[in-house]
Amino acid sequence: MNILLIYPQTPGTFWSFKNILKFVSRKATFPPLGLLTVAALLPLEWDKRLVDLNVSELLDEDIAWADLVMVSAMIIQEASAKEVIARCRQKKKVILAGGPLFTAQPEKFSQVDHLFLGEAEDTMPQFIADWKSGRTKKIYSPENYPDIATTPIPMWSLINPKDYVTMTVQYSRGCPYDCEFCDIIILNGRRPRTKSPEQFMNELEELYQAGWRGSVFIADDNLIGNKQKVKLMLRVLIGWQKQKRYPFRFLTQASVNLADDDELLELMSLANFFKVFLGIETPSQESLEECGKKQNIKSDIAAAVKKIHHHGMQVMAGFIIGFDNDPDNIFQLQKEFIEGIGVIVAMVGLLTALPGTRLYHRLQDEKRLLGESSGGNTDAYLNFTPRMDKEVMLQEYKKLIRTLYGARSYYSRIHTFLRDYRPSVKGGKIGWKDISAFLKSIFFIGIFSRAAGHYWWLLVKTILWRPKALPMAVELAIQGRHFYKIALDL
């Protein structure tokens, strides 16, 4: 059996970093972890080939070679996924599809032979057995959330790691919180499911043996969903990192209450975490109450961010505008809030109603739903009728994004961040790739950009007062070029 696994193209988005990949000589930011894991669920004797359209083209020869085609996609990849399916259908191939796009809206994909809704650990073995007996079904959906202790190590051999900026692994799935707008509990449940420390170390060891060194994204819904278990894992991870002389530096996603646990912050710092994404959402207490963001209500967000920065982790954060309880001056409030707390990578998006969420059903009941989500984070797209005037909202939103990612605000936030940042990243020797990125930044930002003055002042100030933070400062300057272009394209 020849199995062709296809990952559709992702358009230029906030997290794609397509505008700056040339700085680090990479083709894409992250590999398709879902497909790599699915490949490991298939029989060993089946031949597998993976085509990531963000890295290479899908050739007719690839399709002709395949007995089965497997496609995995997120909502933002819908257009590319449909093109892939149409090409494979034209070649009369049997198509399997799974991932958030197909789970959220299976009715859109009648051309797919077999739809996998939800996680595949239990349903893929069912399909394989059905395929061998000639009794396959149209839809495969798990009865329960699978035990990820059975999840195999991703098949890293199917990709060239040098094509990517950051490798991706997963320790847990699920989140204990029930925010109205979030679809995580629909996809992965409210009870965090974890891998054992030994299982997770085996995955990291495999990645290490594959030759990877550098940043690793632990793509959990909320890494600290089960604090007791994650602390056990982190203690083992610290030992593994020391033994290997810190080959990896980690970034992840967590809830704001991370800052409430000093022991957890210290363990993450010792394990070499250098970035964490938080869902901060809004400075409006009324809007936080509206969406059920209980973990943020009455929290001192500024103090939390400062504390995390002090432990050597840069806070990246999500912010949302469009809640019914947002005050009229929400755009100014968000600007002042983001600049004041020093969050540089601030993903500010308009509220969107994702399929199946409590927000989706509420707006549907209120007859305010206008269509489906685009899957984008910062594309100024509304799929519902807001309380605020829609045209005013879109105009003010675009203005806010362009202000935040203009040189003055962006570099000001870097300086605020560096004031509290205490880098603790270990290992990761500076190599030619880093030197090349720095030299390119001098040319493209330090000479040929409107941000040149801000860039040079950042370098001088960092060298004089925060020399250990220089690699992070250069990285942020380069990232600013991407975010600025994203803002201009709105």
Per domain, the residue ranges of the chain are 2-140, 166-404, 432-488
User: How does pLDDT run across 439-455, given as a tens digit for each residue?
Assistant: 999 999 999 999 999 99
Q: How confident is the model at residue 117 (pLDDT cuts 50, 70, 90)?
A: very high
pLDDT for 290? 97
Q: How confident is the model at residue 218 (pLDDT cuts 50, 70, 90)?
A: very high
Query: Is the per-residue pLDDT at 431 higher than 90?
Result: no
Architecture of domain 2-140: 3-Layer(aba) Sandwich (3.40)
Asked, colleague to colleague, whether 2-140 and 166-404 share their fold, the answer is no
Cα–Cα distance between 193 and 145 in angstroms, integer?
A: 9
The stretch 219-231 carries a mean pLDDT of 98
Q: Please give the model's pTM, rounded to 2 decimal places.
A: 0.96
Sort strands 193-194 and 172-173 into parallel, antiparallel or unpaired: antiparallel
For residues 310, 207, 157, 96, the Cα torsion angle rounded to the nearest 10 degrees is -60
User: How does pLDDT run across 352-406, given as a tens digit for each residue?
Assistant: 999 999 999 999 999 999 999 999 989 999 999 999 999 999 999 999 999 999 9
* CA distances in angstroms from 302 to 160, 213, 307, 343, listed in the order given: 40, 33, 9, 10
pLDDT for 427? 74
pLDDT for 457? 98
Which amino acid, residue 275?
Answer: K
* CATH class name, domain 166-404: alpha beta
* Percentage of residues of the chain with pLDDT beyond 70: 100
Report how far apart the first and last C-alpha atoms of the chain are (Å, whole number). 45
Cα–Cα distance between 364 and 357 in angstroms, integer?
A: 11
Looking at per-residue confidence, does 129 or 434 come out higher?
A: 129
Query: Is the per-residue pLDDT at 438 higher than 80?
Result: yes
pLDDT for 293? 95
User: How does pLDDT run across 133-174, given as a tens digit for each residue?
Assistant: 999 999 999 999 999 999 999 999 999 999 999 999 999 999
Per the document, the length of the chain is 490
DSSP 8-class letter at 349: E
| Mean pLDDT over each residue of the chain, to the nearest integer | 96
User: How does pLDDT run across 28-87, given as a tens digit for each residue?
Assistant: 999 999 999 999 999 999 999 999 999 999 999 999 999 999 999 999 999 999 999 999
pLDDT for 424? 82
pLDDT for 233? 98
Sort strands 214-218 and 314-321 into parallel, antiparallel or unpaired: unpaired
Residues sharing a CB contact under 8 Å with residue 288, sequence separation 6 or more, in sequence order: 281, 282, 296, 297
Query: Is the per-residue pLDDT at 336 higher than 80?
Result: yes
pLDDT for 433? 86
